[in-house]
Amino acid sequence: MKKELILNLLNLSNNYNLIGIKEEEVRGKMGLVIDIDFNMKRIRRDVKCPVCGSCNISIHERKKKKRLILHLILPDGRRVYLRLPRIRFRCKECNKTCSYYPEGIYIHG
């Protein structure tokens, strides 16, 4: 129940599994790090190729190293980060690859 509440507060759907929450130093400042993983069965239904729009995709690569993304800053100044797995898909129609990130999460170069 607690995990579902946290995912709802972060505006993340049932496509994700909460692994853990801990406070740690990130880029020289203390922050709250929320470690999540994807529910692959649900994610595969939602992913579309950004090039051709096809839903005919397969998992191309799932890296062990996870990406840390600043999700929000609390009113007291503490930062909340999401630690996400790096997953790439390949479109079976146009053969292009793309990364997957939760809706509302934007990655800057």
Q: Which long-range contacts (CB under 8 A, 24 or more apart) does 48-56 make?
A: 49/89, 49/91, 49/93, 49/94, 49/96, 49/98, 50/96, 50/98, 51/91, 51/94, 51/96, 51/98, 52/91, 52/93, 52/94, 52/96, 54/91, 54/92, 54/93, 54/94, 56/91, 56/92, 56/93
What domain count does the chain have? 1
Summarised one tens digit per residue, pLDDT across range 29-41 is 888 898 888 776 6
104 in a domain, yes or no? no
Summarised one tens digit per residue, pLDDT across range 41-63 is 667 677 788 899 888 888 887 77
Structural domain of residue 92, as residue ranges? 2-99
106 in a domain, yes or no? no
Summarised one tens digit per residue, pLDDT across range 72-102 is 888 888 888 888 888 888 999 999 988 877 6
1: pLDDT confidence band, cut at 50, 70 and 90? very low
32 in a domain, yes or no? yes
Mean pLDDT over 8-22 rounds to: 75
pLDDT of residue 107: 60
